[in-house]
Structure 1
Amino acid sequence: MTFELRTKGAVTSIEGPLVFLKRVVNVGLGEAVEVEGADGSVRLGRIVALDEDRIVMELLESTTGLGIEDVTVRFRGEPMTMALGPGLLGRVFDGVGRPRDGGVPVPAVVRRRVDTGTINPATRGLPQDFIETGVSSIDILNSLVRGQKLPIFSAGGLPHDRLAAGIAQNARLRGEDEAGFAVVFAGIGVSHDAAENFRAAMEESGALEHTAMFLNLASEPSAQRLLTPRYALTAAEYLAFEEGRHVLVVLTDMTNYCEALREVSASHGEIPSRKGYPGYMYSDLATIYERAGWIKGVPGTLTQLPILTMPADDISHPIPDLTGYITEGQVVLDRTLEHKGIYPPVNVLPSLSRLIDQGIGEGYTHKDHPALAQQLFSTYARATRVRILSSVVGRDGLTDVDRLYLDFGDRFEAEFVHQKEMRPFEESFALGWKILAMLPTVELSRLSDAQIARHIKPVSEKQAEPGDG
């Protein structure tokens, strides 16, 4: 049962976000606290360390103006929780679940711990079925599956914020489940301008009606960034497993989360590991990513699309490296493609969706979708090798077929990967066949004669068939 205890005059020191208190009460690690200053303002925090003599509290808001003698601490006697109810969608919250849109708090039907455990492996169902993002290079070649966690690896200066907003606005289910789709968008350590752009984009597109937004600003304390994805996922779990919705969670930017984890770890005096990050960063990230999934016997699903920026464009950096171990693939954004003016600059060769086979094909998208994806990937890989050869011998030194592959690579990037606006699946599907038609059919070794006849010959008369799903 929740209890409240007031203590005054027991605070010994305040260092940055940490408040040190004499051990005058019996409390547990991770419990929520409220610290009230002399002006009556209340700051939320949690207990992060205990010993026989003292309690260390970490505040999620600025400690500016707090004095040692005039601080009142209230112990909630429970971990950090969030009030959940039917009014979550259409709302904008801050990083710890408080309304940022000026509205009233969500009427609480239940309260849930934000640090809840991950899904029990024994109850997990196999992720399956297709989520349409509107991005051709994802929908056709690296399809997102319900219950999957598929990160986007970006880099500083690349348009991942624009891509995140576009996917959040346009993502949808196909078929009868479309009405039960919802999005939870979490901006972690974003600037004021970026937060306002996210909110305005969702509002103007009408997507905010089926979206819950959590926006943690860069000006807010680092400790709050550690809780933002957990509050967002707690709301998503309620929508998915209590209301039976299919929820897509977009988390951007997980690099800001990891930087906050490093900063907070250093403030606690913990021994650093690779590049100064704490040695437990792998397990900490797993407590976030493993909350995605599909529970047997429960109608809803929770899918994650975390976005991170690779420091120094280094895919072997601890953040993308550890993320890749936990998640089921990656979508990689490329600076070279971005310099060519291609948006989104998705490099399809290092990109991978390990669960693509569970969400495409007959009954989901189209029976010929797997063959199209394999042929496009194989052909573009060959075009990339021909480019390297061309840089040595020149275009004139290539065979006629190699020149076709060279043209295919340019056209694939300029027409298929590049898109000025989001595309429905059917348009991306038809475009893939259209570009393949520029090659001799003898080169299309991943396609059957029947598939070539249906979609390529004659291309002027035969159009791609609509999805079967």
Structure 2
Amino acid sequence: MDLVTRRLRSASGIAGPLLFLEEARRARLGELVRIRFPQGERRGQVIELDRGRAVIQVLEETRGIAPASSEVELAGEVASLGVGQDLLGRAFDGAGRPVDGLPPPVPEARVGIQGSAINVVRRAKPEEFIETGLSTIDGLETLVRGQKLPIFSGAGLPAARLASQIARQARVHGGEPFSVVFAAIGAPHRDCAAYLESFTESGALDRTVLFLNRADDPPIERLMTPRCALTAAEHLAFVHGMHVLVVLTDMTSYCEALREVALAREEIPGRRGYPGYMYTDLATLYERAGRVAGKPGSVTQLPVLTMPDDDITHPIPDLTGYITEGQLVLSRDLDRAGVYPPIDPLPSLARLMNAGIGKGRTREDHRGLADQLYAAYARGRDVRRMAAIVGRGNLGQDEKRHLEFADRFEREFLNQGDTFRTIEETLDLGWRMLDGFPDDALTRVKRELVERYRRRLEGGSHGADRDDAHGAHGGAGAALDRPPGREAAARQA
């Protein structure tokens, strides 16, 4: 095709981030364009074609663009990202351009960012867990390789801090290669600077790829950011055999940009003004997580979203919950009480947890212990509400025991700050949380496991009978203050 046919001067109008182009029969869906006008030049992408008429989303500021005097050049290529291992340790903007002051990395290949969901026939079953160092996640809502597990937050809750901490601390066992792709979507400048500083100071930057889309960047770029991140992750996972954790924060900013573009296109709005295809659009992102049969790598997603007005039925968390395999819900009450991370285990859920825990993966007592802690905490929360009405003095002995457990569980198990706990430390701490309960009250755990692990902790032998399925653990975990068992406490008294 000659150069003349690739340059068009038929722009008919502009609305928000969209430029409308007539007589564009040679344009292709997803094709990149350059928009030249007297005051400068902008980039864009063809997002709709209809009988020779094209709609172009402008990827930068549209101020100053005059359709009558603009020339649109069709680039002949779709939006793509240069991928490769050289991306590790680098920071890019939402469109994949370096923002760390270094030259662009030499790519191993250029890949279109649109991607596609993993073929369901080729999907492999998730079977190994990813250790985050956070007891609430590792012990109660275990993250499994290839899973997509979103974090539901509220305005003002420390979701950004939590996402950054997980990205810094997460690791896999067995010496397999592991990396993180961290994408900030519509983040304030101070948060972007804090992310870069945090990864650099912790030493985790060498295994991390950062995509930083700032709040004052064009809304259209927010739609590209998670796609660039997932494209980089897929190459590391399925070409280089790495296990990749992709953290996307904040998906609410992504959905707001999606709504803004849909309104500019004058589409019929769906629930609360969001486009009716938002479910499908989110699925094209979330379903890129998983494992491929016959390939060693995996892509695990940890999307973070802010629930408007703390409403879990809002379209963004509602649709996300349908597509993903559970959720981690942050609690405003726990945050007010000074608990960090304020993850509430009761409304949280990890549907693939059973596939990644147990003997040979974490420890044989993991499932039963998690069920017992969950049941005791749920009962303690019920008693707490009842005590607010009748008073603590009118509670029975069993009710007081559960109430004391709930208080201690939040104070010592859920609340851990920025420390790192290995899975063994988390499970041992869970057993110590149950010190106040007699053996016959622990109905969710097999009797032989109760006897084995209680005897091991009470006798002070923290190494005996340990499931050695992992082998040695790498990395330094923060030491726990181990409270004495019941018998040890009695001897000290």
If the TM-score is normalised by the length of the shorter chain, which range does it land in?
Answer: over 0.9
| Residue number in structure 2 paired with 1:26 | 26
Q: Is the 8 A contact 2:98 2:104 kept in 1?
A: yes
Structure 1 position 106, deviation (Å): 2.2
Structure 1 position 411, deviation (Å): 0.4
Structure 1 position 336, deviation (Å): 0.7
| Residue number in structure 2 paired with 1:455 | 453
Structure 1 position 449, deviation (Å): 2.8
Matches of 1:189 and 1:43, distance apart in 2: 20
- The 5 A counterparts of 1:116-131 are 116-131=115-130
Q: Give the fraction of aligned pairs with identical amino acids, expressed as a percent.
A: 49
Q: Is the 8 A contact 1:6 1:72 kept in 2?
A: no
- The amino acid that maps onto 1:315 is I
| Residue number in structure 2 paired with 1:424 | 422
| Residue number in structure 1 paired with 2:53 | 54
Structure 1 position 4, deviation (Å): 9.1
Matches of 2:202 and 2:190, distance apart in 1: 18
Moved more, 48-57 or 58-67: 48-57
Secondary structure class of the residue paired with 1:165: helix
Q: Is the 8 A contact 1:36 1:73 kept in 2?
A: yes
| Residue number in structure 2 paired with 1:336 | 333
Matches of 1:213 and 1:437, distance apart in 2: 44
| Residue number in structure 2 paired with 1:362 | 359
Matches of 1:137 and 1:464, distance apart in 2: 21
Aligned length: 466
1:196 is the counterpart of 2:193 = yes
Change (3 A) 1:49 1:323: same
Q: Is the 8 A contact 2:25 2:52 kept in 1?
A: no
- The amino acid that maps onto 1:425 is I
Matches of 1:251 and 1:185, distance apart in 2: 6
| Residue number in structure 1 paired with 2:133 | 134
Matches of 2:132 and 2:415, distance apart in 1: 15
Could you list the per-position Cα deviations for residues 74-121 of structure 1 after superposition, in whole angstroms to 9, with x for gaps in the alignment? 212232111112201001011011111111112122111111211000
Moved more, 305-314 or 455-464: 455-464
Could you list the per-position Cα deviations for residues 353-386 of structure 1 after superposition, in whole angstroms to 9, with x for gaps in the alignment? 0000111111111111112111111111111121
- Scaled by the length of structure 2, the TM-score of the pair is 0.91
| Residue number in structure 1 paired with 2:438 | 440
Matches of 1:43 and 1:427, distance apart in 2: 54
Matches of 1:137 and 1:53, distance apart in 2: 55
Structure 1 position 5, deviation (Å): 5.7
Secondary structure class of the residue paired with 2:97: coil
| Residue number in structure 2 paired with 1:211 | 208
- The 5 A counterparts of 1:391-410 are 391-410=388-407
Secondary structure class of the residue paired with 2:92: strand
Change (3 A) 1:2 1:295: farther
Moved more, 446-455 or 193-202: 446-455
Change (3 A) 1:361 1:260: same
Change (3 A) 1:6 1:26: closer
- The amino acid that maps onto 2:112 is R
- The amino acid that maps onto 1:341 is G
Q: Is the 8 A contact 2:9 2:72 kept in 1?
A: no
Structure 1 position 286, deviation (Å): 0.4
Matches of 2:178 and 2:2, distance apart in 1: 35
Change (3 A) 1:278 1:125: same
Structure 1 position 2, deviation (Å): 12
Structure 1 position 11, deviation (Å): 2.7
| Residue number in structure 2 paired with 1:72 | 71
1:252 to 249, 254, 257: 249
Matches of 2:380 and 2:152, distance apart in 1: 23
Secondary structure class of the residue paired with 1:213: strand
- The 5 A counterparts of 1:145-294 are 145-177=144-176, 180-294=177-291
- Scaled by the length of structure 1, the TM-score of the pair is 0.95
Matches of 1:10 and 1:275, distance apart in 2: 35
Structure 1 position 42, deviation (Å): 4.0
- The amino acid that maps onto 1:35 is I
| Residue number in structure 1 paired with 2:107 | 108
- The amino acid that maps onto 1:226 is L
Q: Is the 8 A contact 1:426 1:467 kept in 2?
A: no
Secondary structure class of the residue paired with 2:85: coil
| Residue number in structure 2 paired with 1:92 | 91
1:348 is the counterpart of 2:345 = yes
Q: Which runs of 5+ in 1 are unaligned?
A: none
Matches of 2:80 and 2:5, distance apart in 1: 18
Q: Is the 8 A contact 2:372 2:442 kept in 1?
A: yes
Matches of 1:149 and 1:353, distance apart in 2: 9
Matches of 1:37 and 1:204, distance apart in 2: 44
Could you list the per-position Cα deviations for residues 263-309 of structure 1 after superposition, in whole angstroms to 9, with x for gaps in the alignment? 11000000001111111111111000000000000110000000111
Structure 1 position 22, deviation (Å): 2.6
| Residue number in structure 1 paired with 2:292 | 295
Matches of 1:226 and 1:187, distance apart in 2: 12
Change (3 A) 1:242 1:292: same
Matches of 1:3 and 1:464, distance apart in 2: 73
1:318 to 308, 315, 322: 315
Could you list the per-position Cα deviations for residues 384-424 of structure 1 after superposition, in whole angstroms to 9, with x for gaps in the alignment? 12112222221111111211110000000011000122322
Q: Is the 8 A contact 1:11 1:69 kept in 2?
A: yes
Q: Which runs of 5+ in 2 are unaligned?
A: 470-493
Could you list the per-position Cα deviations for residues 323-373 of structure 1 after superposition, in whole angstroms to 9, with x for gaps in the alignment? 111100111101011110111111101111000011111111111111211
Moved more, 383-392 or 293-302: 383-392
Secondary structure class of the residue paired with 1:388: helix
Q: Is the 8 A contact 2:25 2:53 kept in 1?
A: no
RMSD: 1.8
Moved more, 300-309 or 1-10: 1-10
Change (3 A) 1:436 1:5: farther
Q: Is the 8 A contact 1:2 1:76 kept in 2?
A: no
Secondary structure class of the residue paired with 2:104: coil
- The amino acid that maps onto 1:412 is F
- The amino acid that maps onto 1:290 is E
Could you list the per-position Cα deviations for residues 133-173 of structure 1 after superposition, in whole angstroms to 9, with x for gaps in the alignment? 11110000000000000011111000000000000100000
- The amino acid that maps onto 2:448 is A
